[in-house]
């Protein structure tokens, strides 16, 4: 079974999580929100991949903090391994021009700081945490496995 390794940014401001609602292949808005990020390229480190993905999608180079979560799951086609990092340059994500990015205009229908408990957010486990408290804690990385 093929494995896809991905990286995602956890960007919190005033208790709200920066998320995006992606576009489907036909250009319509998908029915869920997610944190920014994506799959690693061959030979790319986790930090390199997260930096590339956030620049491609938002035009903002992230300042990467601690690893907060790891999620492992699979569907009919592949296994997924996702790493969620705290991104600390939060204010840089306030004003984004998707038209000036390489991927944002094509991939993102909507974005912004949202209350994660009020939308259909994937992965669902992000709704279960006070993310601000989690970022400030010394707790070990949480691992979620759905195999």
pLDDT digits 0-9 by tens, 75-92 = 999 999 999 999 999 999
Would you give the distance in Å from CA 80 to the centre of its chain?
14
Average pLDDT of 60-73? Answer: 98
Determine the pLDDT at residue 1: 87
* Per-residue pLDDT band at 41 (split at 50, 70, 90): very high
pLDDT digits 0-9 by tens, 91-105 = 999 999 999 999 888
Which phi and psi (to 5°) does residue 46 adopt? -60, -45
CATH 3.40.50.300 fits 2-137, yes or no: no
Residue with token string 């804690």: 137
Determine the pLDDT at residue 105: 87
Determine the pLDDT at residue 147: 87
Task: For residues 89 and 104, give the distance between their C-alpha atoms in angstroms, rounded to a whole number.
Answer: 19
Determine the pLDDT at residue 103: 86
């Amino acid at each position: 079974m093929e494995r896809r390794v991905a990286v995602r940014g956890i960007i919190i401001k005033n208790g709200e999580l920066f998320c995006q609602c992606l576009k489907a292949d036909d250009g319509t808005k998908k029915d869920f929100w997610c944190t920014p990020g994506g799959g690693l390229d061959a030979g790319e480190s986790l930090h390199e991949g997260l930096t590339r993905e956030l620049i491609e999608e938002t035009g903002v180079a992230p300042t990467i903090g601690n690893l907060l979560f790891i999620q492992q799951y699979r569907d009919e086609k592949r296994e997924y391994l996702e790493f969620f990092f705290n991104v600390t340059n939060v204010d840089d994500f306030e004003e984004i021009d998707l038209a000036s990015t390489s991927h944002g205009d094509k991939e993102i229908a909507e974005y912004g700081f949202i209350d994660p408990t009020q939308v259909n957010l994937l992965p669902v486990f992000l709704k279960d945490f006070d993310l601000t408290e989690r970022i400030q804690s010394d707790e070990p990385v949480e691992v979620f496995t759905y195999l």
